[in-house]
């Protein structure tokens, strides 16, 4: 609950919003002189075109102005994914959907303000009862406050669709327009059972940023809240009829948003802040350079969590600050090169990751030079290995190893088949070590990261293979079910590189290292 001072501040901010809405939505002289036929034609066009609707009625949202002079800097248009989402919602009367968008990409603006009003002001009204769900009833009421300000003070909406303020039912968190559309705020976990406005039940429910870091640390709370969303909240619709929408970014894999994305029949829209080339998906919003500056300031982990739907959770063996990058030397400068292969048992893509990790030793340092960490077929992995082998400069030798348990007919057949195509066989050897338990082995080499002996190839920093490998490494802990193919392959390569330095007769001793009790 908000304190009296917080409520006073929130109300003052809302009044400023109302003033801004009124000032920045004037009806131009040319519009005011329209004939009734011209006005009707213009409104019909806006009703059918979401981007045009937003640009005309909400210039205060889509115009960047100088904070001192108030001059227009530039107009920010909807991104294609905004318009696609709006049409999906409009054209699907009975919709269950999750819109997984990054921070700063107008989730609340579109689903809590623009879209409800677009549906409300169609020639045949598509929304009658909206429920906004937030972390608390106060936060949900603030979400509705934005749409309330538009209905009461947006001059262009009033000029085209009439005065909507209903003096008898116009309170914070719950109000009803003169045209009969009801709006209600609900906090997470509150009972929405029996929600109705006379004969009407909600037909547009939007759940906005329900997850937070504290909630996601408690698996039982996440499970209980997911049940509340699916049962009590979804049950507030008229036997599932209506638009049931959740918006947010994936801050944790243990979250209500993650659970809803897995639910059967749910449409999932996933938008990442930048594409595979590093360009922003909302180009009117910011430049590539601005996005990179934000990523550099936040750091890899926070950027991945807030903007790329890739929350990296620490395990208890490795720490994020131990991951170091540098520009690596030429391959012919290394004392020894080893590529270790962990192919997983199955040949399909819907199973464990397959990992190939090329490591080099130079002096006392160990460098991860190249990597392949994918849910791929065995043949896809084999092709990557052959391509790596063929890319090696003349005179450079790489020792390829794979665990003996994997040197089975089905996997060897893939190597042989690819070799026949290429005209030679890849020189891969079996790792016949009698290995201790996997976690024990990986714990045994983790001090090399801690002491700064391990470096990653800077040029591959933002590639999916590198990122997945780092995620697996950081998430590793005893009893965890996370994928561990990359750190397992790292241990194998490092064992052979270290063996070359200490002599073939040296027998490694694996010591279980107790991890310090801390938040990481």
* Residues 356 and 220 occupy one common structural domain: no
* For the chain, percent of residues with pLDDT exceeding 70: 89
**191 band by pLDDT with thresholds 50, 70 and 90:** confident
Confidence (pLDDT) at 305: 87
Number of other residues whose CB lies within 10 A of the CB of residue 129 = 23
State yes or no: pLDDT of 349 exceeds 60: no
* Residues 359 and 494 occupy one common structural domain: yes
- Top-confidence range, 23-32, 57-66, 180-189, 327-336: 327-336
Last residue of a domain, one of 271, 303, 338: 271
Q: What's the CATH number where 212 sits? A: 3.40.50.300
* Residues 246 and 347 occupy one common structural domain: no
Confidence (pLDDT) at 518: 33
Q: Is residue 516 part of a domain?
A: no
**What is the C-alpha separation between 339 and 341, in angstroms, rounded?**
7
Confidence (pLDDT) at 296: 80
Report CA 246 to chain centroid distance, whole Å: 14
Average pLDDT rounded to a whole number, residues 326-337? 97
Average pLDDT rounded to a whole number, residues 105-128? 96
* Residues 325 and 266 occupy one common structural domain: no
| Out of 211-225, 337-351, 373-387, 456-470, least confident range | 337-351
Q: Is residue 126 part of a domain?
A: yes
Name which of 173, 28, 153, 174 is nearest 164 in CA terms.
153
Confidence (pLDDT) at 1: 63
Q: Is residue 510 part of a domain?
A: no
Pair of tokens at residue 55: 């640009």
Average pLDDT rounded to a whole number, residues 461-468? 89
Q: Is residue 276 part of a domain?
A: no
Confidence (pLDDT) at 410: 65
**257 band by pLDDT with thresholds 50, 70 and 90:** very high
* Residues 348 and 215 occupy one common structural domain: no
Angle in degrees, CA 308, 310, 314, rounded to 5:
140
* Residues 250 and 358 occupy one common structural domain: no
Confidence (pLDDT) at 387: 97
* Residues 220 and 344 occupy one common structural domain: no
* Residues 345 and 266 occupy one common structural domain: no
CA distances 50 to 61, 378, 383, 511, Å, are 14, 46, 46, 63
Q: Is residue 517 part of a domain?
A: no
Last residue of a domain, one of 214, 241, 271: 271
Confidence (pLDDT) at 311: 82
Average pLDDT rounded to a whole number, residues 407-434? 88
State yes or no: pLDDT of 386 exceeds 70: yes
Q: What's the CATH number where 382 sits? A: 3.30.420.240
**159 band by pLDDT with thresholds 50, 70 and 90:** very high
- Domain range enclosing 226: 4-271
* Residues 33 and 90 occupy one common structural domain: yes
Domain count, the chain: 2
* Residues 244 and 136 occupy one common structural domain: yes
**What is the C-alpha separation between 258 and 211, in angstroms, rounded?**
10
Q: Is residue 229 part of a domain?
A: yes
Q: Is residue 313 part of a domain?
A: no
Last residue of a domain, one of 211, 238, 271: 271
The per-residue pLDDT of the chain, averaged, comes to 88
SS3 207: strand
State yes or no: pLDDT of 65 exceeds 80: no
* Residues 342 and 405 occupy one common structural domain: yes
Q: What residues have CB less than 8 Å from 368, skipping those under 6 apart?
A: 357, 358, 359, 454, 455, 456, 457, 469, 490
- Residue 150 · residue 117 · CB < 8 Å: yes
* Residues 232 and 350 occupy one common structural domain: no
Q: Is residue 44 part of a domain?
A: yes
């Amino acid at each position: 609950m908000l304190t009296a001072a917080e409520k006073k501040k929130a109300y003052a901010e809302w009044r400023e919003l109302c003033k801004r809405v009124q000032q920045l939505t004037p009806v131009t002289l040319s519009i005011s002189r329209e004939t009734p036929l011209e006005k009707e034609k213009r409104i019909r066009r806006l009703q059918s075109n979401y981007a045009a609707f937003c640009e005309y009625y909400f210039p205060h949202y889509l115009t960047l102005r100088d904070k001192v002079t108030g001059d227009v800097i530039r107009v920010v248009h909807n991104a294609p994914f905004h318009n696609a989402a709006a049409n999906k919602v409009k054209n699907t009367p009975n919709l269950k959907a999750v819109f997984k968008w990054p921070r700063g990409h107008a989730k609340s603006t579109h689903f809590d303000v623009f879209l409800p009003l677009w549906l409300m002001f169609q020639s045949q009204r598509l929304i009658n009862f909206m429920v906004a769900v937030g972390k608390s009833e106060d936060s949900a009421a603030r979400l509705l406050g934005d749409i309330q300000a538009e209905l009461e003070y947006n001059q262009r909406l009033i000029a085209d669709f009439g005065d909507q303020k209903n003096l008898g039912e116009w309170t914070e968190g719950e109000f009803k327009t003169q045209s009969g559309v009801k709006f209600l705020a609900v906090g997470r976990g509150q009972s929405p059972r029996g929600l109705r406005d006379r004969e009407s039940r909600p037909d547009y429910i939007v759940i906005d940023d329900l997850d937070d870091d504290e909630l996601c640390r408690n698996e039982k709370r996440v499970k209980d809240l997911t049940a509340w969303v699916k049962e009590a909240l979804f049950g507030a619709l008229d036997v599932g009829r209506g638009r049931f929408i959740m918006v947010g970014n994936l801050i944790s894999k243990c979250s209500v948003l993650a659970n809803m994305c897995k639910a059967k029949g749910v449409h999932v829209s996933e938008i990442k802040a930048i594409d595979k080339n590093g360009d922003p998906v909302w180009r009117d919003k910011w430049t590539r350079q601005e996005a990179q500056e934000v990523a550099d300031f936040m750091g890899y982990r926070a950027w991945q969590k807030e903007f790329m739907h890739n929350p990296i959770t620490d395990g208890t063996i490795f720490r994020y600050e131990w991951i170091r990058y540098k520009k690596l030397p030429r391959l012919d400068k290394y004392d020894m090169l080893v590529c270790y292969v962990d192919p997983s048992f199955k040949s399909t893509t819907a199973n464990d990751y397959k990992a190939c990790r090329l490591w080099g030793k130079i002096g006392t340092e160990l460098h991860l030079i190249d990597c392949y960490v994918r849910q791929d077929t065995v043949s896809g992995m084999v092709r990557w290995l052959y391509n790596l082998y063929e890319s090696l400069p003349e005179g450079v030798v790489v020792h390829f190893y794979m665990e003996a348990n994997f040197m089975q007919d089905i996997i060897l057949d893939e190597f042989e088949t690819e070799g026949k195509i290429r005209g030679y066989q890849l020189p891969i050897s079996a790792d016949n070590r009698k290995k201790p338990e996997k976690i024990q082995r990986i714990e045994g080499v983790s001090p090399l990261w801690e002491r700064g002996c391990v470096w990653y190839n800077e040029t591959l920093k933002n590639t999916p293979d590198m990122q997945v490998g780092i995620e697996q490494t950081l998430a590793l802990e005893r009893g965890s079910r996370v994928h561990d193919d990359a750190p397992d392959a790292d241990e194998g390569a490092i064992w052979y590189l270290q063996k070359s330095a200490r002599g073939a007769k040296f027998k490694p001793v694996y010591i279980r290292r107790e991890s310090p009790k801390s938040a990481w």
